Amino acid sequence: MTQAPASASPDAVTRRETSWIWFDGRVCQYGEAKIGLLTHGLNYGTGIFEGIRAYWNAEREQLYILRMAEHFDRLRVNARILQMEVPLPTAELCSITADLLRRNRYREDIYVRPLMFKSAEIIGVKLHDVPESFAICMAPMGSYVGTGGIRCMVSSWRRIEDTMAPARAKCTGIYVNSALAKSEALQSGFDEAILLTMDGHVSEGSAENIFIVRQGVLYTPPPSDNILEGITRQTVMHLAREEMGLDVVERSIDRTELYASDEVFLCGTGAQVAPVIEVDRRRVSDGEPGPVTLRIQDIYNGLVSGGNAKYAEWLTPVYA
């Protein structure tokens, strides 16, 4: 029997176990989906995943999935890196996901987790000639990190290099890098970690991209600094340019620039737009979320729940 985290309520456990998911070509309940202890992806981290948000609009009684096709397209690219092929076209995956959300009758914010992994129960490290499985599951989710102002530390763990493992891909195995940094931060009294590259440039948070504001310009690390090429990151860059008229520059960022910045914020599917008010026990500017961050956060929050018709094409409504 699957076990829930210690913090999960009995109701949450039951709800998860009976939720409808997609697993290897069929709809079933979460509790019916089983894998063996020798599963390749479990033992060797040979899997890839996505995170997709769906936002509930109570006034409209509608659930909106944000940029779903882009996430499945990225999953397809990442799968090829691990010598896997996503079994269905993006349009069909989007249809399956919307159907699952309807079946589960969700009326709250939801996190959707597509997952593909090497599923053979064998001992031996390789990627080729190993069968794979594909699943889509989902669960209610609020804020992953605080959105009112978080405290960060620069981690002693460095961001994994693309010459070691594919930093651009959401590979399950390399998230041990994130887990080490996140636990270090939490156990040191901070909310989140910021990782540097091996040459000392700012890369990203444990599971978020990072932006800084200096003299009215928005800066973010480039893909060459081993970041995940985030879809929320792309969204923020577009909103900053098109809605606020800001210059957005992709360039390497030094650690001390975090201390000297007017504003710092993290973003991601889970984190959304999260202001950073302190780095390494140094206040960012006046120690309050800055105006640029708050404006981006406001625009972002408005569009994800269907409040901005200009970006309707980014949203998939679930209910008729």
What are residue 134's DSSP bridge partners? 116
User: Within 13 A of 303's CA, how many CA atoms are on the CB side?
Assistant: 22
Contact 109/132 with Cβ under 8 angstroms? no
Contact 157/124 with Cβ under 8 angstroms? no
* Choice among 34, 118, 126, 170 that is catalytic: 170
3-state secondary structure of 248: strand
What are residue 28's DSSP bridge partners? 21
DSSP character string of 73-90: HHHHHHHHHTT---SS-H
Rounded to 5 degrees, φ, ψ at 217 are -110, 140
Between CA 276 and CA 279 the distance in angstroms is: 7
- Sign of the alpha-carbon torsion through 51, 270, 290, 300: positive
Calculated CA dihedral for residues 63, 67, 73, 74, nearest 10 degrees = -110
* CA 280 to each of CA 159, 190, 276: distance values in angstroms, whole numbers, following the listed order: 17, 9, 11
> Largest Cα–Cα distance of the chain, in whole Å?
56
* CA 191 to each of CA 45, 65, 306: distance values in angstroms, whole numbers, following the listed order: 26, 27, 30
* CA 209 to each of CA 221, 222, 239, 260: distance values in angstroms, whole numbers, following the listed order: 8, 10, 15, 19
User: To which H or E segment does residue 98 belong?
Assistant: helix 90-104
Q: Is 118 a catalytic residue?
A: no
Classify the phi-psi angles of 214: left when phi > 0, otherwise alpha if psi is within -120 to 50, otherwise beta.
beta
As annotated, the active-site residues are 170
